[in-house]
C-alpha cells in the first residue's frame, strides 16, 4: 500500500513537471525582427544577448529591405521590429500607416567584393574595376534593385562612376553585359563568390569584412559612404520597375517598431539594446551612429529617447 501511494505521488509530480515544461516551451514569448540581410551577423549577436537577458525567443527574418517592407504593406505581416538598410523605406512605405517614427543608427559603404580565385584578382583596383567587369570572361553581380537597397545602390554607384571616370556609356555597357547576375538580396551572392561561380559582387563593406572577402574600396565620390558627398551622390538616380525613383545619397540604416507590434514592450527593449551596444555593429564592420538620429523624438517610446538626437 505504501509503495502504491509513493508511485501515485511520483506520477503526479511527473505530470505537473511535464505540464510546467509544456507551458514554458509553448508560452515562451517570441519577438519577430524583420531586418536587412546585411544586418544578419550583428543581429544574430544581439538576438543571443537579448535571449540570455530576458529569456525570450528572438525570431530573425532576413531579406531585402524593400521586399520586407512590401510584405508588411501588402501581405499583412506584422513583425515587432523592422530594420532597413535604407531608412527612407520606413519613411516612404511604412509611415504613417504602420509606424510614426524611425531611428537612423548605422552607416555603410558599397565595395566590390571578390576572392583570391576571382579572375584578375591580382590586377583589379579602384581605378580599373569597371574595365575588368566589362571583360567578356568576368562574371559579376548585384542584388535585385526592386527588392534590396544594395541593388539600387549598386546601380547608382555605376552611374556615378560614369560621371567620375568620365567614361560615356559605362552604365549602359555594364547593364547590357551577359555576365551580369542578379539575386534577390546582396548576401545571396556570397555563396556564388565563394564557389567561384561569380568573380565580383557589389556588397556592403561590412558584409565583405564579416565574410573575410577581399574587396575594392571605391572612391568616396561614388561609394555612397561619405556624408560630405551627399550633393554629388544626388546627381544619380534609378527608376525601379514600379516607377519609384531612387536618388543617390549616403547609406543610412533605419529601425522602427510597428504600431501593431504584438510584443511592443519587448520590441522597445530589443531596440534599446542595439542603441546601448553600438560596439557590436562596429566589430561587424558597420559604423554605428552615436547618438542615433530620430525622425520624431516626441513619437519615440520614452525608454529610447536618451539614446538619440533630433
Q: How confident is the model at residue 310, as a pLDDT?
A: 85
Pick the CATH number of 2-107+252-309 from 3.40.50.80, 3.30.1550.10, 3.20.20.10, 3.40.190.10: 3.40.190.10
Strands (E) across 37-90 are located at: 57-63, 81-84
10 Å CB burial of residue 244 (0-12, 13-18, 19+) is middle
Burial 112-127 (b: 16+ CB within 10 A, else e): bbbbeebbbeeebeee
C-alpha cell at 96: 504613417
- Strands across the sheet containing 180-183: 180-183, 140-143, 200-204, 110-114, 214-217
Instruction: Show pLDDT as tens, one digit a residue, over the chain (310 residues).
Output: 454 544 444 444 443 444 443 334 334 699 999 999 999 999 999 999 999 999 999 999 999 999 999 999 999 999 999 999 999 999 999 999 999 999 999 999 999 999 999 999 999 999 999 999 999 999 999 999 999 999 999 999 999 999 999 999 999 999 999 999 999 999 999 999 999 999 999 999 999 999 999 999 999 999 999 999 999 999 999 999 999 999 999 999 999 999 999 999 999 999 999 999 999 999 999 999 999 999 999 999 999 999 999 8
Q: How confident is the model at residue 2, as a pLDDT?
A: 52
| Alpha-carbon span 138 to 222, nearest angstrom | 22
Contact between 94 and 256 under an 8 Å Cβ cutoff? The reply is yes
Q: How confident is the model at residue 172, as a pLDDT?
A: 97
Q: How do the domains of the chain map onto residue ranges? A: 2-107+252-309, 110-247
Q: How confident is the model at residue 12, as a pLDDT?
A: 44
The model scores a pTM over 0.95: no
Q: What architecture (CATH level 2) is domain 110-247?
A: 3-Layer(aba) Sandwich (3.40)
Contact between 294 and 101 under an 8 Å Cβ cutoff? The reply is yes
Q: For the CA atoms of 257, 60, 271, 261, what is the dihedral angle to 10 degrees?
A: 30
Amino acid at each position: 500500500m505504501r509503495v502504491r501511494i509513493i508511485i501515485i505521488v511520483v506520477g503526479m509530480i511527473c505530470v505537473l513537471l511535464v505540464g510546467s515544461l509544456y507551458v514554458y516551451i509553448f508560452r515562451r514569448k517570441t519577438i519577430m525582427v524583420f531586418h536587412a540581410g546585411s544586418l544578419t551577423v550583428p543581429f544574430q549577436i544581439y538576438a543571443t544577448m537579448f535571449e540570455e537577458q530576458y529569456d525570450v525567443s528572438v525570431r530573425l527574418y532576413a531579406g531585402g529591405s524593400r521586399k520586407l517592407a512590401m510584405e508588411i504593406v501588402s501581405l499583412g505581416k506584422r513583425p515587432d521590429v523592422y530594420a532597413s538598410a535604407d531608412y527612407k523605406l520606413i519613411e516612404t512605405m511604412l509611415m504613417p500607416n504602420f509606424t510614426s517614427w524611425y531611428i537612423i543608427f548605422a552607416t555603410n559603404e558599397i565595395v566590390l567584393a571578390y576572392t583570391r580565385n576571382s579572375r584578375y584578382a591580382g590586377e583589379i583596383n579602384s581605378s580599373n574595376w569597371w574595365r575588368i567587369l566589362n571583360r567578356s570572361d568576368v562574371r559579376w553581380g548585384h542584388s535585385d534593385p526592386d527588392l534590396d537597397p544594395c541593388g539600387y545602390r549598386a546601380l547608382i554607384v555605376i552611374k556615378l562612376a560614369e560621371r567620375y571616370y568620365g567614361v560615356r556609356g559605362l552604365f549602359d555597357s555594364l547593364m547590357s553585359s551577359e555576365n551580369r547576375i542578379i539575386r534577390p538580396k546582396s548576401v545571396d551572392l556570397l555563396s556564388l563568390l565563394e564557389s567561384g561561380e561569380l568573380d565580383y559582387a557589389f556588397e556592403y563593406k561590412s558584409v565583405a569584412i564579416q565574410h573575410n572577402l577581399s574587396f575594392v574600396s571605391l572612391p568616396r565620390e561614388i561609394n555612397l559612404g561619405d556624408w560630405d558627398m551627399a550633393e554629388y551622390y544626388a546627381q544619380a538616380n534609378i527608376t525601379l520597375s514600379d516607377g519609384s525613383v531612387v536618388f543617390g545619397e549616403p547609406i543610412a540604416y533605419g529601425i522602427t517598431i510597428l504600431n501593431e507590434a504584438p510584443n511592443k514592450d519587448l520590441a522597445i527593449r530589443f531596440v534599446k539594446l542595439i542603441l546601448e551596444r553600438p560596439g557590436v555593429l562596429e566589430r561587424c564592420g558597420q559604423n554605428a551612429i552615436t547618438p542615433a538620429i530620430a525622425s520624431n523624438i516626441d513619437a519615440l517610446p520614452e525608454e529610447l529617447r536618451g539614446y538619440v538626437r533630433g
